Structure formats: structure tokens, C-alpha cells
């Protein structure tokens, strides 16, 4: 049950590491690659805090083994914004008070970006259904929904203009 060498591209950077097959992808990202923006809240796939993007899809990093990400493209919260310039979604989380303790936030951002890319015009109900895969105990979800709605509205406007 030795270690395997894997190569994972995270936020455009290649990480070549040796891992035990059982190492969870969430632990690999945090403890091996040092990207601690991805948080771990339940390790059984319910709370959504560890959600990241693997090959263009938002998934739970606690329900994947690092070895399964060998050769894959991963994006984490650290890879969302370029050169410290916040994305529109991030800015709207600030404006709409979409976070308090911030622990669940990274996962929610990763889910939302993926979801909006595939469904640019969801209804409020659909936004909430998408968010049902995330637990937030601070905000009551209100600010989060508002931030997402504001982002959709702005993106639609910029398409129109």
C-alpha cells in the first residue's frame, strides 16, 4: 500500500507529489499544496465547505481521493480572482453581506461560479436549491442569495449593453 506519484494542476500550477491512495483530495489541497482557502467541515459530503472545481465541475473535495485527481484540472477559491482583483461575485458578497465567519464561503463561491456558468439565469428557487448543498450557520442564507441575484442581474445587464 505504498505511495503513488500524482500530478494535479491547481489554479494553473502543477503539483507533483507522492500520496497514499487514501489521502482525501481536501487534505491534499490544504496540507500538501498549502492552499488553505478550501475548508473542511464534515468529511461526509453534506456541508459543502470543501467544494472545489474539478475539470469544470463543482464537487466535494472530501469525497474524492487525491489520487483520483491525478492529471486533472482543479480550481480552488485562491484561483477565482486574478491579481487580487475581486470577481463580481466576490464583490457582491461584500456588498450584500453574504458572509460572516467566512468558513463556508469558499465552497459556496466555487459552487455558484460553476452553476451560473451552466445556468446563467436561475430563479430564486433554483438558486436556493443549488445552495441547499451548503450549510451556513451565520447568515441565514439571505445575504448569499442576494449577492448571487445581484451578480446575475449585473451580468445580464453587461450582456445587454
Partner 1 sequence: MTNVIGKSATRVEDKRLLTGQGKYIDDLGTKVNTGHAAILRSSHPHAYIKSIDKEAALKMPGVKGIITGEDIRGLVKPFSVGVMAPVEYYPLAIDKVRYVGEPVAIIVAKDRYAAEDALEKIKVVYESLPPLVGIERALEEDAPILHENVGSNIANHREFNYGDVDKAFEEADRIVKHKFNFPKYTATPVETYGVVAEYDPAHDQYTVQANFHGPFVIHSIMAQALQIPSNKLRIIVPKDIGGSYGIKAGIFPYIVLCGLASKLIGCPVKWIEDRQEHLSSSASGTDRVTYIEAAVENSGKVTGLRMKMIDNVGAYIRAPEPASLYRNHANSTGAYDIQNLHIDAYAIMTNKSPTGLIRGYGGQELYFPLERIMQEVAKELNMDHADVIRKNLVKEAQFPYKTASGGTYDSGNYEESFELALATGKYEEFRKKQEEARKNGKILGVGLACIVEPSGSNMGYITVALTPEERAGSLPKSGAAEAATVSMDPLGSVNVRISTTPSGQGHETVAAQIVSEVLGLPREQINVVAELDTSTSAWSIASGSYSSRFASLGSSAIYYAAHKVRTKLFKIAADQLNVKEADLELEKGSIFVKNNPDKKFSVKRAAGLAHWHPTSLPDGMEPGIYETYYYTADVAQAPNEQDMINSSVTYGFVADMVTVEIDPDTAEVKIIDYFTVHDAGKLLNPLIVDGQIMGGLAHGLGGALYEELAYDKNGQFLTGSFMDYLCPTAPEIPNVTIKHTESPSPLTPLGAKGLGEGNTMSAPVAVANAVSDALAHLDIMIDDLPLSPTRIWKLMGEAKEKVTTP
Partner 2 sequence: MKPPKFEYYKPATLEEALNLLEEAGDDGKIIAGGQSLVPIMNMRLASPKCLIDINGLEELSYIKNEDNTLKIGTLTRQSDVEQSEMVANVCGLLAEAITQIGHVQTRNRGTIGGSIVHADPSAELPLALLTLNGSVQITSKDEVRTVAAEDFFITYLTTDIMPTEVLTEVTIPLMEEKSGYSFQEIARRHGDFALVAAACHMTVDDEGLITAVRLALGGVEAIPLLIGDAEDILTGEQLSDSLLAQVAESVEMESDPESDLHASSEYRTHLAKVLTKRVLTQAYERARG
Query: For 45, phi and psi rounded to 5 degrees?
Result: 80, 15
Contact between residue 99 and residue 59 where contact means Cβ atoms under 8 Å apart: no
Q: Does 67 bind partner 1 (CB under 8 A)?
A: no
Distances (CA, A) of 158 to 33, 151, 161: 36, 11, 5
User: How do strand 73-75 and strand 51-54 relate by DSSP bridges?
Assistant: antiparallel
Q: Which of 44, 82, 121, 159 binds partner 2 (CB under 8 A)?
A: 44
Q: Which of 4, 21, 46, 57 binds partner 1 (CB under 8 A)?
A: 46
Contact between residue 62 and residue 43 where contact means Cβ atoms under 8 Å apart: yes
Q: Does 152 bind partner 2 (CB under 8 A)?
A: no
Which among 122, 138, 155, 133 is positioned nearest to 62, based on CA atoms?
133
Positions touching partner 1 (CB under 8 A) are: 20, 22-23, 30, 35-44, 46-47, 49, 76-78, 80-81, 84, 86, 90, 93-95, 97, 99-106, 109, 125, 127-129, 131-145
Positions touching partner 2 (CB under 8 A) are: 1, 4, 20-22, 24, 27, 43-45, 48, 51, 57-60, 62-65, 67-68, 70, 111, 114-115, 118, 128-130, 132-133
Amino acid at each position: 500500500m505504498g505511495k503513488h506519484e500524482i500530478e494535479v494542476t491547481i489554479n494553473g500550477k502543477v503539483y507533483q507529489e507522492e500520496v497514499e491512495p487514501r489521502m482525501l483530495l481536501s487534505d491534499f489541497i490544504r496540507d500538501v499544496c498549502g492552499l488553505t482557502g478550501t475548508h473542511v467541515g464534515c468529511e461526509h459530503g453534506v456541508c459543502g465547505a470543501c467544494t472545489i472545481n474539478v475539470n469544470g465541475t463543482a464537487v466535494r473535495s472530501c469525497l474524492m481521493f487525491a489520487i483520483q485527481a491525478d492529471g486533472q484540472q482543479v480550481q480552488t477559491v485562491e484561483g477565482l480572482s486574478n491579481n487580487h482583483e475581486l470577481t463580481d461575485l466576490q464583490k457582491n458578497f461584500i456588498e450584500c453581506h453574504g458572509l460572516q465567519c467566512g468558513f463556508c464561503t469558499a465552497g459556496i463561491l466555487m459552487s455558484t461560479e460553476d452553476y451560473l456558468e451552466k445556468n446563467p439565469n436561475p430563479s430564486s428557487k433554483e438558486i436556493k436549491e443549488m445552495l441547499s448543498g451548503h450549510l451556513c450557520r451565520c447568515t441565514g442564507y439571505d445575504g448569499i442569495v442576494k449577492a448571487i441575484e445581484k451578480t446575475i442581474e449585473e451580468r445580464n445587464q453587461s450582456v445587454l449593453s
